[in-house]
Amino acid sequence: MNKIALLAIGGGLLAQPAIADEIFFEASGKLSTEVTMYASEGAFSQQDYRSNLSVALTPEFFWEWNDGQDSVTFQPFLRKDQRDAQRTHADIRELSWVHLSDNWELRSGYRKVFWGVTEFQNLVDVINQKDSVEGLDSSNKLGQPMINLSLVKDWGIIDFYVLPGFREQTYSSADGRLRAGLTVHDSLTSYESSRKEDHIDLAARWSHSIDVYDIGAHWFKGTDRSAQYQVVTLNGSPVLKAHYQQIEQVGVDIQATIDSWLYKGEVIYQDNDSENFWAAQLGAEYTLYGIQESNTDLGILLEYGYDQRGTDASANMQNDIGFGARLAFNDTQSSSVLAGVIHDLDYHGTSFSIEAERRFGDNWKATLEGKAFSSGSSNDPASIFDKDDYIKLTLDRYF
Amino acid sequence: MKMNTLVTSIIAGSLLLSASTVFAQTAEEQGLAISQESITRDNGWVDMLASMNMVLRNKQGQESIREIRMKTLEVEGDGDKSLSIFDKPRDVKGTAFLSFSHNVGADDQWLYLPALKRVKRIASRNKSGPFMGSEFSFEDLASFEIEKYNYKFIEEQACDIGTCFVVEQYPNDKNSGYTKRIVWIDKAEYRMLKTEFYDRKGSLLKTLTSHDFNQYNGKFWRPSLMKMVNHQSKKSTDLMWSNYKFGNGLSESDFNKNTLKRAR
């Protein structure tokens, strides 16, 4: 995989010798320090602590030449965690070469891709693997090796992906919080495909904006990013083994932007060896601008997530309602508060979250995040988090 | 004979009548004509690159910096297309904003969030909200289109550079934060030198003054400095324009979600 990315980049560098025009270079990045305080010690062994300290560094290096038609971006990610050796990790978020032409661009290497329109979960966002040790937020993703050809047409943008090389999901060690009772051992990971993590996945997506509608449709064939878990015995103790099956999936995402309303929907249909199913995430968002004659905007959002597999679904929102409120103060410090509640209609469990952020000076940002979990019953999969209510303060320094 | 005289007198009469209406334009027609001329004189710039640096000052005089680069494409018969790229503050570096403005109806706007690699279509209804915490609202920075206002000529007045037309402009958009703007347009070159903004209650909210005009490509006048003062909050924003460049060969294909995602 590394080889393909490097070959692509190397090829690009060779094909485009910097003749007359100079290479533009830029370095930037972010250093994040986070302190997490838990309401109580964890439910499982080795979780007998209530605070954790962690530091992450995300530098970004960017080169551009050939009058902006070629560029290379390198964004490594490094985290050091006080407690969890698995959370102490490094990743290549991006190492890619992009070549532009008039109506197409070719993007090769490790990259991150986002598809979708909804807020609580994105069923159609299938390209990258989750970097789960980073937190419950699915926006933390591992870099995915790819060759992506993007064509701009009158009838929309069409993207083709060849994805050589699969990334396994990351998991906490026994010392980590916000994990299942048993830990996942990646030495046991199995695959449906005989090529295992070397299976070449394929995907295509069409997206277009027509009047007030933004529409996307995709097809994906390859290794499922979500694993199936099985309890096995390793050295006499029970552990979890991840199994990745082959899937074929189609899906659509639509947003209608009408006055102060955003109507959003994502629907997928998946076919795999054991079953076929469909799932949907539907919702709306309404924004009140300049409430109480101030500059503050209040956004209200409501979403419903459904999965035909019901309680067997690997999705977090298989029959769940999500309600959120977003306050944007539109002040100099870009202060904002986002609060959300997700209620599970099958298990009657509820989770609460709040996130407040504010810039300090020109180069600092502080984020305060809180989450609380209240499971409906002991067979609720979310009950593993019952002792993990936390608040987390993150301080970001940008450079 | 008789018939001919009648026809002649009717024609002569109607000519006289139309001549007098041109002469005795109503204040509304004059206001419209002056505003239209300011647009006509600026037509044909095709595309433009520019950098805008903002200095935001609060009541205590504390400063905060914004750095943005803009690409704009003139669209015949409709509002402009623009792509704005944020460089500072650093936490929003790489954020980009794509806007297709329309003469009539809501604008189409998308925001690119680089940390998530996500393009979000956003509601454009928020005309009166502040742009990046500054004293400029989104509508203050939007392209000036004739259909957006009703007009009334007030008077001619001496101003910094010679004589100015004073014209009142009343927004048609119910989402506008203003009931009225009063603009001072110089008689020689039809540049907007000063604008007073009146809030929804009719009180004076802000004053914008434009300074250090330069002429580009022998036609297009652009200010180097725009000062916006909020009389109610006592905050102010200085907007410094630089690196104006016209005729860059931009086209519609420079303004789509792909160019938004790689804007930097």
For B47, the enclosing helix (H) or strand (E) is strand B47-57
CB contact (8 A) between residue B128 and residue A365? no
Is there a contact between A45 and A53 (Cβ–Cβ < 8 Å)? Answer: no
Q: What is the pLDDT of residue A12?
A: 45
Q: Nearest by CB to A295, from B90, B125, B130: name it.
A: B130
| Residues 163-182 (B) with a CB less than 8 A from some CB of A | 175, 177
The alpha-carbon gap from B123 to the nearest alpha carbon of chain A, in Å, equals 6
Alpha helices, DSSP H, located in chain B: 2-23, 27-40, 138-141, 257-262
Q: What is the pLDDT of residue B9?
A: 52
| Residues 229-258 (B) with a CB less than 8 A from some CB of A | 253, 256-258
Q: Is B211 on the interface with A (CB under 8 A)?
A: no
Q: What is the pLDDT of residue A5?
A: 45
Kindly provide the ipTM of the predicted complex, given to two decimals: 0.92
* Residues in B touching A75 (Cβ below 8 Å): none
Q: How many domains does chain A have?
A: 1
Is there a contact between A114 and B117 (Cβ–Cβ < 8 Å)? Answer: yes
A322 has pLDDT over 60: yes
Based on the number of CB atoms within 10 Å of its own CB, is B70 exposed (0-12), middle (13-18) or buried (19 or more)?
A: middle
What single-letter DSSP state applies at residue B76?
T
Spatial distance between the Cα atoms of A381 and A182, rounded to a whole number of angstroms? 13
Spatial distance between the Cα atoms of B68 and B240, rounded to a whole number of angstroms? 10
Q: Which amino acid, residue B206?
A: K
A300 has pLDDT over 60: yes
Q: What is the pLDDT of residue A281?
A: 98
* Residues in A touching B58 (Cβ below 8 Å): 332
Which of A338-347, B27-36, B96-105 has the lowest average pLDDT?
A: B96-105
The domain spanning residue A171 has which CATH number?
A: 2.40.160.10
| Residues 1-60 (B) with a CB less than 8 A from some CB of A | 56, 58
B60-85 average pLDDT score: 93
CB contact (8 A) between residue B92 and residue A363? no
Query: Which residue has tokens 């929102």?
Result: A317
CB contact (8 A) between residue B121 and residue A262? yes
CB contact (8 A) between residue B123 and residue A255? no
Which of A3-12, A135-144, A255-264, B169-178 has the lowest average pLDDT?
A: A3-12
Q: What is the dihedral of CA B221, B225, B228, B229, to 10 degrees?
A: -130
Q: What is the pLDDT of residue A2?
A: 47
* Structure tokens that stand for A46 in this block: 């080795």
B71-83 average pLDDT score: 91
3-class SS string, B180-228: EEEEEEECCCCCEEEEEEECCCCCEEEEEEEEEEEEECCCEEEEEEEEE
Q: What is the pLDDT of residue A8?
A: 46
Structural domain B32-262, CATH architecture: Clam (2.50)
Tens of pLDDT, residue by residue over B111-143, are 999 999 999 999 888 788 999 999 999 999 988
CB contact (8 A) between residue A330 and residue B121? no
Q: Which domain holds residue A162?
A: 2-398
CB contact (8 A) between residue B126 and residue A398? no
The alpha-carbon gap from A388 to the nearest alpha carbon of chain B, in Å, equals 26
B68 has pLDDT over 50: yes
Which residues 6+ apart lie within 8 Å of B129 measured at CB?
A289, A290, A295, A297, A330, B137, B138
- The phi and psi torsions of A311 (rounded to 5 degrees) equal -70, -10
B213 has pLDDT over 70: yes
Is there a contact between A206 and A217 (Cβ–Cβ < 8 Å)? Answer: yes
A345 has pLDDT over 60: yes
CB contact (8 A) between residue B91 and residue A260? no
Which of A302-306, B67-71, B119-123, B173-177 has the lowest average pLDDT?
A: B173-177
Q: Nearest by CB to A362, from B88, B123, B264: name it.
A: B88
The alpha-carbon gap from A379 to the nearest alpha carbon of chain B, in Å, equals 33
* Structure tokens that stand for A382 in this block: 């979310």
* Residues in A touching B56 (Cβ below 8 Å): 332
Predicted TM-score of the model (pTM): 0.90
Nearest chain A residue to B113 by CA distance is A114
Which residues 6+ apart lie within 8 Å of A145 measured at CB?
A1, A4, A5, A109, A110, A163, A164, A165
Tens of pLDDT, residue by residue over A260-281, are 999 999 999 999 999 999 999 9
Is there a contact between A89 and A79 (Cβ–Cβ < 8 Å)? Answer: yes
A304-333 average pLDDT score: 93
C-alpha distances out from residue B104 to A259, B101, B200, Å: 14, 9, 22
Cis peptide before B130 (omega within 30 of 0): no
* Structure tokens that stand for A383 in this block: 């009950």
Mutate to test the interface with B, among A332, A360, A394, A398 (most CBs of B within 10 A): A332
Q: Nearest by CB to A290, from B106, B128, B253: name it.
A: B128
The alpha-carbon gap from B92 to the nearest alpha carbon of chain A, in Å, equals 10
Based on the number of CB atoms within 10 Å of its own CB, is A65 exposed (0-12), middle (13-18) or buried (19 or more)?
A: buried
Spatial distance between the Cα atoms of A278 and A124, rounded to a whole number of angstroms? 12
Q: What is the pLDDT of residue A102?
A: 85
Q: What is the pLDDT of residue B23?
A: 54
Q: Is A257 on the interface with B (CB under 8 A)?
A: yes
A66 has pLDDT over 70: yes
Helix (H, G, I), strand (E, B) or coil at B31: helix
Q: Is A93 on the interface with B (CB under 8 A)?
A: no
Tens of pLDDT, residue by residue over A110-140, are 999 999 999 999 999 999 999 999 998 888 9
Spatial distance between the Cα atoms of B112 and B109, rounded to a whole number of angstroms? 10
- The phi and psi torsions of B14 (rounded to 5 degrees) equal -70, -35
Q: Nearest by CB to A260, from B123, B258, B262: name it.
A: B123
For residue B181, the tally of other CB atoms under 10 A from its CB is: 22
B20 has pLDDT over 70: no
A192-210 average pLDDT score: 97
Provide the greatest CA pair distance for chain A: 68
* Residues in A touching B130 (Cβ below 8 Å): 295, 330
CB contact (8 A) between residue A289 and residue B128? yes
What residues pair up with B237 in beta bridges, in sequence order?
B56, B228
pLDDT band at A104; cut points 50, 70, 90 = very high
Spatial distance between the Cα atoms of B182 and B137, rounded to a whole number of angstroms? 16
Nearest of A217, A222, A310 to residue A267 by alpha carbon: A217
What single-letter DSSP state applies at residue A39?
S
Q: Show the CA angle centred on residue B100, arms to residues B99 and B106, nearest 5°.
A: 100
Spatial distance between the Cα atoms of B244 and B123, rounded to a whole number of angstroms? 29
Q: What is the pLDDT of residue B76?
A: 84
Q: Is A154 on the interface with B (CB under 8 A)?
A: no
* Residues in B touching A113 (Cβ below 8 Å): 117
Nearest chain B residue to A399 by CA distance is B90
CB contact (8 A) between residue A114 and residue B89? no
Domain spans in chain B, listed from the N-terminal domain onward: 32-262
Q: How many residues does chain A have?
A: 399
Which of A40-44, A103-107, A134-138 has the lowest average pLDDT?
A: A134-138
